[in-house]
Structure 1
Amino acid sequence: NSGSMYAIIGLPAEEVEKICEETEGYVVPVNYNSAVQTVIAGDTEACEAAAAKFAEMKKKAIKLNVASAFHSKLMQTAADEFIETAKTVEFKTANVDFYSNVLGTKLEDFSAMPDMLAKHIVSPVKFTSELAEMEKAGYENFIELGPNKVLTGLVKKTLKGKNAVNIENAATMEKALASLS
């Protein structure tokens, strides 16, 4: 599907939401990444118009190099296709606490996982709410698995004094284990 995404830097999420609401066309906040970074997505023209408003406010609006407007209603056809496959997978209740960035809280009900996963495709990522809930529950260590350190950086910006590390290979695993000891 078509569409665009922009990272908006330097504004609280509430102000980003307000500009999106005031912008003609479909543009919405879709990634609540940190206190000063929210990603917007939607129809390309509406995203461009919102980005221009942010630029007028002297705030950064960085166009993301992505193929579509992820985590928005423009991904509904992908969610519809995905759910059919997800229904063929047997899901079990997690043995550890599991936090959902669709809900921004701890997931308690695992009975409709195909629906929850499909909803993730078209729903905002409530990463800051999820982190706040994890901090409230007493979590001190945050480990990102995979290439790059994007989420690790966002955790460090959002949760001061917590340990956040990235593991993408054996060398970074050794470094992470040493820092968490």
Structure 2
Amino acid sequence: MTKTAWVFPGQGSQAAGMGMDLLDLPEGKARFDQANAILGWSVVEICQSEEDKLSRTLYTQPCLYVVETILADWLKECGHQPDFVAGHSLGEYAALYTAGVFSFDDGLRLIKRRAELMDSASDGMMAALLGFDRDQLAEQLQQTPDAVLANDNNAGQVVISGTPAAVEAIIGSVKAKKAVKLNVSGAFHSPLMATAAAAFQKELDTVPFSTAQVPVLSNVDPTPATDAQVLKDRLNRQMTGTVRWREISLRMPEEGIERVIEVGPGKVLTGIIKRTSPNLILENIGSLADLPPAS
């Protein structure tokens, strides 16, 4: 049997119209209705709205979680099961749900609060660097206390986060093929999110976590874990910690994983993983049409 990991994308993978084919499934429609009752707004309406509205953190995060969990549940209905799961930033919540760590409702309540807190974070800036010198970046980050490595995606793509002055200083001092300032409300995955993380922890403390049914590779610690308290602690640190996706991509072949299925809209993670672990078989499940036949 081929060892398979399911991975779930985060913000940046959303697209207008995503998940609308899932309304053809009775289970999908029921899940959308369930989400509306928790959120107080319609996921279907937001997914069909203008791109700028869907891309607002407040809406993006719950919408992606709902679409990704419906796809994961339907994959299981078709007889497929992962051997490992992982999710990029927001995607870690869909991964934990898929591993049976918490219920759909509890996960969505966490996402709702996370999205509210992150949407209201007004301090800070984030920027993506592509084609850069990693040693030079590490040196500059060491010399710039108000900027950190937020997303270590692969050898040629990272995101830095921090105060606007610090991020601008890094962009100005590190040679890169491309530097792109991200359209986000705050310095996500940095110490500047400490206040939001403390507020989020109160919500997290109310949610019971169960032992994962399959190992989870977490953003802040890419070693496989199933222990409920370990997974909760890792999730608690995620808002201020680095997304260590390059290490997750390296870890998967070490664990004997041969195949990776990206569950959710787009192919962002597929492209990122390919650069780090080119021998993995990479597949995408972004819609009903992509679902493999029942096994």
TM-score under structure 2 normalisation?
0.55
Give the secondary structure class of the aligned counterpart of 1:148: coil
Q: Deviation per CA, 1:84-132, whole angstroms, max 9, x where unpaired?
A: 1111111111111211121122125422544321200100011111121
* Alignment match of 2:149 (pick from 20, 29, 39): 29
Question: Who is 1:15 aligned against?
Answer: 136
| Higher RCO (Cα < 8 Å, 6 or more apart) | 2
The answer as to 2:267 corresponding to 1:149 is yes
**Equivalent residue runs for 1:108-123 within 5 Å:** 108-123=226-241
AA partner of residue 129 (structure 2): I
AA partner of residue 5 (structure 1): M
Q: Do the aligned residues in 1 keep the contact of 2:213 with 2:226 (CA within 8 Å)?
A: no
Give the secondary structure class of the aligned counterpart of 2:239: helix
Question: Who is 1:45 aligned against?
Answer: 165
Q: What is the alpha-carbon distance in structure 1 between the residues aligned to residue 258 and residue 230 of structure 2?
A: 29
The answer as to 2:211 corresponding to 1:93 is yes
Q: Deviation per CA, 1:7-27, whole angstroms, max 9, x where unpaired?
A: 11112544322122223x501
AA partner of residue 20 (structure 1): L
Greater strand proportion:
1
Question: RMSD between aligned alpha carbons?
Answer: 1.9
Q: What is the alpha-carbon distance in structure 2 between the residues aligned to residue 132 and residue 150 of structure 1?
A: 17
For the structure 1 residues 15 and 143, does the alpha-carbon distance in structure 2 shift closer, same or farther, using more than 3 Å as the test? Answer: farther
AA partner of residue 287 (structure 2): N
TM-score under structure 1 normalisation?
0.87
For this pair of structures, how many residues does the alignment match?
173
Q: What is the alpha-carbon distance in structure 2 between the residues aligned to residue 159 and residue 115 of structure 1?
A: 28
AA partner of residue 218 (structure 2): S
Greater helix proportion:
2
- Stretches of structure 1 that go unaligned for 5 or more consecutive residues are none
Same amino acid, percent of matched pairs: 38
Q: What is the alpha-carbon distance in structure 1 between the residues aligned to residue 231 and residue 225 of structure 2?
A: 10
- Stretches of structure 2 that go unaligned for 5 or more consecutive residues are 1-120
For the structure 1 residues 58 and 113, does the alpha-carbon distance in structure 2 shift closer, same or farther, using more than 3 Å as the test? Answer: closer
Give the secondary structure class of the aligned counterpart of 1:119: helix
